[in-house]
Amino acid sequence: MNIYKNPEKETWSELTKRPTFKKQEISEIIEEIFSEVEKNGDLALIKYAEKFDSAKIKDLQVTATEIDEAADFISEDLKLAIQNAKNNIKKFHASQENEIQKIETTKGVVCWRENRAIEKVGIYIPGGTAPLFSTVLMLAIPAQLAGCKEIILCTPPDNNGNINPAILFTAKLCGISKIFKIGGAQAIAAMTLGTESVPEVYKIFGPGNQFVVAAKDCAQKFGVAIDMPAGPSEVLVIADKNAVPEFCAADLLSQAEHGSDSQVIFISTDFKVLNETIDEVKKQIKELPRNEFAQKSLDNSHFILLNSVDDALEFSNFYAPEHLILAIENFENYIDKIQNAGSVFLGNYSCESAGDYASGTNHTLPTNAFAKNYSGVSLDSFVKKITFQNLSKEGLQNLGKTIEIMAEAEGLLAHKNAVSIRLK
Amino acid sequence: MNIYKNPEKETWSELTKRPTFKKQEISEIIEEIFSEVEKNGDLALIKYAEKFDSAKIKDLQVTATEIDEAADFISEDLKLAIQNAKNNIKKFHASQENEIQKIETTKGVVCWRENRAIEKVGIYIPGGTAPLFSTVLMLAIPAQLAGCKEIILCTPPDNNGNINPAILFTAKLCGISKIFKIGGAQAIAAMTLGTESVPEVYKIFGPGNQFVVAAKDCAQKFGVAIDMPAGPSEVLVIADKNAVPEFCAADLLSQAEHGSDSQVIFISTDFKVLNETIDEVKKQIKELPRNEFAQKSLDNSHFILLNSVDDALEFSNFYAPEHLILAIENFENYIDKIQNAGSVFLGNYSCESAGDYASGTNHTLPTNAFAKNYSGVSLDSFVKKITFQNLSKEGLQNLGKTIEIMAEAEGLLAHKNAVSIRLK
């Protein structure tokens, strides 16, 4: 836990640094996995399931029976909660649909855009320390809304060769029936290259460890798009004197528990709130089952006192956090000043977990300062926008000279001729 | 020129193949350029200008005087044409702005998205055989509309160390004042890494040769976003019996003149139109100053007879062309069947050059089958969308249990606690 009082702006660059990864060291492993999957298809995947997941599996694809039976292992409470979250996420993402708007830029020249779903998409859901069925909601709901024709899901089996029932239940609820017991980089390779069982897709979504991240980089070399580049999860909390230290500490810890590499930054304009939040963190962490992760993450966290919310936002924009919590009074006055962030939580009752699970916003967000140049996942992530234009004869008459002159000036006479020949 | 009559569907995969590039061979050159620019900054750039552009330059940045004087070298006709194109492009891209739409997903839980411009963007304009001032319009106009704070432009100097006046004039017209005499991969490296003169940017836009494309790949490794992956330009024309062979031939040639690697596909449902278009191509090509490029491109082109427009569209969706021209009757009946394309031109008077220059749509489009998973450049390309949420106390009371149950089921107790502590 590092504490800074009014650090000079020259030091901000150091304070906003992310840990660096050793990408190169694993790139050889990734290349080998892709090459194995390309060569041996399903067999390679079954081999990797045994090697990496200690699971002996015969069929890579989860059967309809397995999917149907998953519901028996889920409490009614959890089913209702998942359904409730689904409703909110669907409502918010449906609101992102655009109507077609035809624009007559010149008389007789009409231009517009239409959305088309990306036909084939793949969703990766990690196994590991938490069964992320919430991520199934976040990716499958917009994929369905967009109208993607083929939506497949890969997730690693446990060592009995089974998939967590909450993941299966949620996938079924969202209309996904092609689920594969494949984890890690080999899942990304399978969705990129296709195998006997796994169809290849045009875009891959979902979080994962450094192997999955590196594999998604590799997928791009094969022409497959990905949701966004990734790094460890992050939160930056800005608290003024009206913030509640108990709440702030709980938010910081809910980020810290994700993993030992999670990034946590707390900025307060009030020294008392800063100190009380630190005390609260120390108190609350004791109760957490995942406190080992949380402690490691907190060891690298920054607690910073700054003079004003404006300064805090300047720092935040420089850092570009995945999650930004404004535990301040009159937060509406500061929204316009937020430049770089993935998702923003306003006021004392907007905890990050609301957005992580059920408020409706997407939790697949840019980390590692990518909030400077990337958006989080939305309905847009599952569509392409095609432009259309129709020129009437009159339209071309009105615009023809402009095109001819420009084409000629660029030395592209055939471009000019395509107009001239029509106006002859 | 390859001619196919009703080719079997099994052969389509072969017919829609793009030429492959040798990416690896140049990756060492690119890495060396990035490393030189990182080490020696401006000096490296000046050295490369001499090496690659045969230009001795002192100052990398174009002076205000140079920019102002460019107007003297442009005809009034061209100025008017550029202004006219600018108006249309601005009108169409301005129509892509979204209003903020606040959604109450649960009572007391309000979610919305707001756009923020990407603060620093770089535009690359190639030199080479055509001075692409039209690309300045296509990239600078949406960047300005989005509100990007820093917009810089790099373009190679001629061997006298000068920039084409039409490029300077257009840049100025679009409000760009930071223009650098840097070409090729070294321009991409400079915008990625920053030098004494060149500011680093968060996203790089613009076309270029294979070195520029490879350098943009490399830029991504440094966390810089790019507009989209790239390949040679393409057109696919679908013509029925109502098409005008003269017009079709002119459109095919306007694609072919781009470069010897341009991709040209012509599909007709009418044998007479197919043959007459081939004859017209042979006739028109003789008149073109760039007929050497065009001929090479045409040597690899496909002229295909298919039974129906539906078949032609199936082929087109499989190929996913950058530009798709529907020179057919009742084109409105076929729009919904277009799945994969960058930009679509409808009817006999909608020539590709209209969209290349002046109708209003963007000409920076996905090639190389990337129309399956990428959109062309639009206003969206210059913004990030940040999600916001505000939960009132009542909102959290309504949604709290859902969040708690889901967090617990994922084993993330600190996530649960962030809610419980607020509801206590």
Q: How confident is the model at residue A22 (pLDDT cuts 50, 70, 90)?
A: low
Q: What is the pLDDT of residue A309?
A: 98
Cβ density class B334-351: b for 16+ within 10 Å, e for less: beeebbbbbbbbbbbbbb
Using the predicted structure, report yes or no on whether residue A25 has a pLDDT greater than 80.
no
CB contacts of B373 in chain A (<8 Å) are 118, 202-203, 223-225, 384
- Per-residue pLDDT, B221: 92
For residues B359 and B339, give the distance between their C-alpha atoms in angstroms, rounded to a whole number: 22
Instruction: Tell me if chain A has a CB within 8 Å of the CB of B133.
Output: yes
Q: Read off the CATH number of the domain in which A52 is found.
A: 3.40.50.1980
B134 and B357 Cβ atoms separated by less than 8 Å: yes
Query: Does one domain contain both B126 and B213?
Result: yes
Q: What is the pLDDT of residue B260?
A: 85
* Residue-level pLDDT at A95: 96
C-alpha span between A220 and A224 (Å, rounded) = 5
Q: Give the nearest partner residue to B414 out of A250, A357, A422, using CB atoms.
A: A250
B71 contacts chain A (CB < 8 A): no
Mark whether A67 and A211 lie in a shared domain: yes
Specify the pLDDT at position A19.
75
Give A239's strand partners.
Answer: A268, A327
Q: Taking CA atoms, what residue in A is nearest to B371?
A: A384
**In this predicted structure, what is the pLDDT of residue A285?**
94
When pLDDT is averaged across residues A256-260 and rounded to a whole number, the result is 88
CATH number at residue B409: 1.20.5.1300
Is B386 contained in some domain? Answer: no
CA atoms within 13 Å, Cβ hemisphere of B340: 24
Q: What's the average model confidence in pLDDT over A20-31? A: 78
Amino acid (1-letter code) at residue A213: V
Same domain, B336 and B290: yes
pLDDT of residue B314: 98
Nearest to A184 by CA among A207, A166, A159, A211: A211
B58 lies in the same domain as B193: yes
Last residue of a domain, one of A341, A360, A379: A360
Asked whether the beta carbons of residue A375 and residue B389 sit closer than 8 angstroms, the reply is no
Residues B110 and B204 in one domain: yes
Structural domain range at position B401: 392-423
Task: For residues B90 and B95, give the distance between their C-alpha atoms in angstroms, rounded to a whole number.
Answer: 8
Mean pLDDT of A172-193: 97
Is residue A367 included in any domain, yes or no? no
Spell out, as residue ranges, where chain B has pLDDT lower than 50.
Answer: none
Q: Which residues of A are annotated as a binding site for Zn(2+)?
A: 255, 258, 356, 415
H helix and E strand count, chain B: 15, 14
Contact B402 A81 (CB under 8 A): yes
Q: How confident is the model at residue A18 (pLDDT cuts 50, 70, 90)?
A: confident
Contact criterion met (CB < 8 Å) for B288 and A413: yes
Query: Does the annotation mark A322 as catalytic?
Result: yes
Write the single-letter amino acid at A328. I
CA atoms within 13 A on the CB side of A108: 14
Residue B371 lies in a domain: no
Are residues A146 and A27 located together in one domain of the fold?
yes
Q: Which residue has the tokens 């990756």?
A: B27
Q: Which of B30, B389, B92 is nearest to B218 (CA)?
A: B30
A378 lies in a domain?
Answer: no
Q: Are residues B129 and B144 in the same domain?
A: yes
The pTM of the full predicted model, rounded to 2 decimals, is: 0.96
Name the token pair of B304. Answer: 């295909």
A131 closest CB neighbour out of B258, B343, B410: B410
Q: Is A197 on the interface with B (CB under 8 A)?
A: no
Asked whether residue B30 falls in the same domain as residue B108, the answer is yes
Cβ neighbours around B4 below 10 Å, total: 14
Mean pLDDT, chain A, integer: 95
Contact B353 A119 (CB under 8 A): no
- Which pLDDT does position A231 carry in this prediction? 85
Q: Which residues of A touch B380 (CB under 8 A)?
A: 380, 385
Judge: A114–B335 Cβ closer than 8 Å, yes or no. Answer: yes
Residue A292 reports pLDDT greater than 90 = no
Does B123 fall in a domain?
A: yes
The confidence score (pLDDT) of residue B129 equals 65
Q: How far apart are CA A235 and CA A371, in angstroms?
A: 12
Interface of A with B in 84-123 (CB under 8 A): 84-85, 87-88, 91-92, 95-96, 98, 101, 103, 105-106, 109, 111, 113-114, 116, 118-119
Q: For residues A316 and A236, is the Cβ–Cβ distance under 8 A?
A: yes
Which of B:206-235 have CB within 8 Å of A? 220, 223-225, 229
Rounded to a whole number of angstroms, the distance from the CA of A47 to the nearest CA of chain B is 28
pLDDT tens-digit map of A219-246: 999 999 999 998 889 999 999 999 999 9
- CA–CA distance from A214 to each of A170, A221, A228, A303, A412 (Å)? 27, 11, 12, 31, 42
Co-location of A285 and A147 in the same domain: no
- Write down the pLDDT at residue B23: 63
Contacts with A105 from chain B: Cβ below 8 Å: 87-88, 91-92, 359-360
| Band of residue A147 on the pLDDT scale cut at 50, 70, 90 | very high
Give binding residues of A as ranges: 124, 186, 209, 233, 255, 258, 323, 356, 410, 415
A277 interfaces chain B, CB cutoff of 8 Å: no
Instruction: Provide CB contacts within 8 A for A290, sequence distance 6+.
Output: A129, A257, B411, B412, B413, B414
Residue A206 lies in a domain: yes
Q: Please check whether residue B182 is in contact with residue B190, taking contact to mean a CB–CB distance below 8 angstroms.
A: yes
The residue behind tokens 């017991």 is A181
Is residue A57 assigned to a domain?
Answer: yes
Q: Does A77 touch chain B (CB under 8 A)?
A: yes
Which chain B residues are Cβ-neighbours of A351 within 8 angstroms? 391, 396, 418-419, 422
What is the predicted ipTM?
Answer: 0.96
Which among B78, B81, B403 has the least Cβ separation from residue A353? Answer: B403
pLDDT band per the 50, 70, 90 thresholds, residue A188 = very high
pLDDT at A140 over 80: yes
Average pLDDT over residues A251-255: 96
Q: Domain boundary at B199, B226, B253, which?
A: B226
Q: How many domains does chain B have?
A: 3
Asked if residue B136 lies in contact with residue B153, where contact means CB atoms within 8 angstroms, the answer is: yes
Sheet holding B178-181, edge to edge: B178-181, B150-155, B120-124, B203-205, B225-226
> What's the confidence (pLDDT) of residue A133?
97
Answer yes or no: B93 catalytic: no
Same domain, A7 and A67: no
> Has residue A381 been placed in a domain?
no
Q: How far is CA A408 from CA A106, A331, B87, B132, in A?
A: 21, 54, 20, 11
B72 and B31, same domain (yes or no): yes
Check residue B24 and give its pLDDT. Answer: 65
Give the sign of the dihedral formed by CA B165, CA B169, CA B170, CA B176: positive
- Chain B closest-CA separation from residue A355 CA (Å): 8
Tokens of B309: 């427009």
Describe chain B by its helix, strand, coil percentages, rounded to 5.
50, 15, 35
At B367 the three-state DSSP class reads coil
The pLDDT, as a whole number, for residue A192 is 98
In 3D space, the residue among A379, A348, A347, A386 whose CA is nearest the CA of residue A364 turns out to be A379
- In this prediction, what percent of chain A has a pLDDT beyond 90? 90
Task: Give the amino acid at B356.
Answer: D
Same domain flag for B247 and B296? yes
Q: Is the pLDDT of residue A259 over 90?
A: no
| Residue of A323, A352, A363, A404 marked catalytic | A323
Per-residue pLDDT at A129 exceeds 70: no
User: Per the residue annotation, which of B322, B352, B363, B404 is the catalytic one?
Assistant: B322
User: Could you tell me which residues are beta bridge partners of residue A114?
Assistant: A386
Structure tokens at B211: 């070195």
Which of B169, B203, B226 is the last residue in one of the domains? Answer: B226
Residue B323 gets the label, from left (phi > 0), alpha (psi -120 to 50) or beta, of beta
> Out of B93, B302, B323, B363, which one is annotated catalytic?
B323
Nearest-CA distance A59 → chain B (Å): 26
Whole-number pLDDT of residue A5: 95
Q: Residue B225 and residue A370: Cα distance in Å, rounded?
A: 9
